[in-house]
Amino acid sequence: MCIFTQEKEYRLRHCIHHVFLEEPRLHFHNAAKKCGSCRNTVSTYWRDGLKEEIFFPPQIRLKMYENRKEYIYLIQNDSANKLYEHYKKHPNTVYITYTSGKFDILLQTEKPLDVLPDRTIFHGARGNYIYPETPNCSYAYALTCMERLLEQDHSPSKIPVEYSKEPLEIGSPYYGWMIFPYVKRNLRTGYTRIVKKLHISSVSFYKGLEYLLNVSTKLLPYYPLGFRLYSQQFFVFWSDYEELLCKSFSHLPCHTSITKVSDALLMYVSIEKGLLEKRLLQLCFKMNDLGYINRFWSSIPIYHWTPDEPQSTGASPA
């Protein structure tokens, strides 16, 4: 295996992240060519990166269409723990997280709830996820770039949410939905185990995968220092400058998730632990003072649950 300086290690990991995000099932040999390295080095850095939670596997999240929408509810409730356990058993729950802050529960469902939970303070259908390309820089430099943005003039801009008709079928929806639970959180998973369990052929597997990639957004959560060295926060922003906010938070050098819910932007942001946490919050207050944000909420995720990862604990990496 090749020996690298720390700077070259960061550069190689960033390249591996980019390559497997673009082509999730690419062989290590071809990934090594794209990164100007050797196969054994790339495979070692990838596997070690997964263990150290620098990388999470490449994944997919469904795009939203006329016939398929997901709904997000922010709940502030003194019995949040009971609600959390209740909605873990709800058949339409896609994701739920217990949080500390402005809201106590973030609930995501694949159908609208018949009855709003008590003290639901915000809810709505979500738009498609936006996953900004992760830059290769320090967190301090990223915050400096965000601060410099505020020194410029900006025009109001909204991010539109349109629910179009689902595109013409590419691949096989039948096999796509069959394999979806197995590939949603790991597009690099081996297909042999899946085709044996589902009694389908490898051709059927790849037809299903082709369909899913056409109706989904890819992501590969990347944390250069390792997931545990970052703190996570949900932010809800009401703003007339939504494109500016997206551009600003796209400077952050680790995984960031953005989606529009009703008239607000919901962001999942990771912050390098230490003084930089305070600096990012100060930046949010400055944007508020300058009129780029009308108001915002924040909550810290404590633990989460999803039906495809029933044993999951801790803050969500995505």
pLDDT for res 173: 95
pLDDT for res 249: 98
For residue 262, being part of any structural domain is answered with yes
Say whether pLDDT at 116 is over 70. Answer: yes
DSSP state for residue 55 in the 8-state scheme: B
pLDDT tier for residue 7 given thresholds of 50, 70 and 90: confident
Q: Based on the domain organization, do 188 and 47 belong to the same domain?
A: no
Residue 252 sits in a domain whose CATH number is 3.30.70.920
pLDDT for res 275: 78
Q: How many CB atoms lie within 10 A of CB 143?
A: 20
Report d(CA 282, CA 216) in Å as an integer: 35
For residue 317, being part of any structural domain is answered with no
pLDDT for res 196: 96
For residue 308, being part of any structural domain is answered with no
Q: Give per-residue pLDDT as tens, 63-92.
A: 999 999 999 999 999 999 999 999 999 999
Q: Based on the domain organization, do 209 and 299 belong to the same domain?
A: no
Q: Based on the domain organization, do 20 and 150 belong to the same domain?
A: no
Q: Based on the domain organization, do 226 and 298 belong to the same domain?
A: yes
Which pTM does this prediction carry? 0.94
Q: Based on the domain organization, do 230 and 151 belong to the same domain?
A: yes
Q: Based on the domain organization, do 149 and 265 belong to the same domain?
A: yes
Report d(CA 183, CA 179) in Å as an integer: 6
Q: Based on the domain organization, do 254 and 143 belong to the same domain?
A: yes
For residue 116, being part of any structural domain is answered with no
Q: Based on the domain organization, do 229 and 282 belong to the same domain?
A: yes
Specify whether the CB–CB gap between 105 and 84 falls below 8 A.
Answer: yes
| H or E element that contains 60 | strand 59-62
Give me the number of domains the chain comprises: 3
Q: For the chain, what is the total number of helices (H) and then of strands (E)?
A: 10, 10
For residue 296, being part of any structural domain is answered with yes
Specify whether the CB–CB gap between 108 and 94 falls below 8 A.
Answer: yes
For residue 147, being part of any structural domain is answered with yes
| Domain encompassing residue 23 | 6-51
Please tell me whether residue 265 adopts helix, strand or coil conformation.
strand
For residue 68, being part of any structural domain is answered with no
Q: Based on the domain organization, do 277 and 143 belong to the same domain?
A: yes
Task: Kindly state the average pLDDT of the residues 255-270.
Answer: 98
pLDDT tier for residue 318 given thresholds of 50, 70 and 90: low
Q: How many CB atoms lie within 10 A of CB 103?
A: 23
Say whether pLDDT at 175 is over 90. Answer: yes
Q: Based on the domain organization, do 172 and 272 belong to the same domain?
A: no
For residue 19, being part of any structural domain is answered with yes
Q: Based on the domain organization, do 150 and 27 belong to the same domain?
A: no
Map tokens 């590419």 to a residue: 170
Q: Give per-residue pLDDT as tens, 192-204.
A: 999 999 999 999 9
Q: Based on the domain organization, do 291 and 172 belong to the same domain?
A: no
Task: Using the CB atoms, write b or e for 274-297: b if 16+ within 10 Å.
Answer: eebeebbeebbeebeeeebbeebb
Say whether pLDDT at 6 is over 90. Answer: no
Find residue 21's DSSP bridge partners: none
pLDDT tier for residue 316 given thresholds of 50, 70 and 90: low
44 burial level (CB within 10 Å; 0-12, 13-18, 19+): middle
Report d(CA 41, CA 48) in Å as an integer: 10
Say whether pLDDT at 312 is over 90. Answer: no
pLDDT for res 40: 95
Specify whether the CB–CB gap between 149 and 244 falls below 8 A.
Answer: yes
CA atoms within 13 A on the CB side of 70: 20
Q: How many CB atoms lie within 10 A of CB 300?
A: 13
Instruction: Take residue 110 and report the two structure tokens written for it.
Output: 């694949």
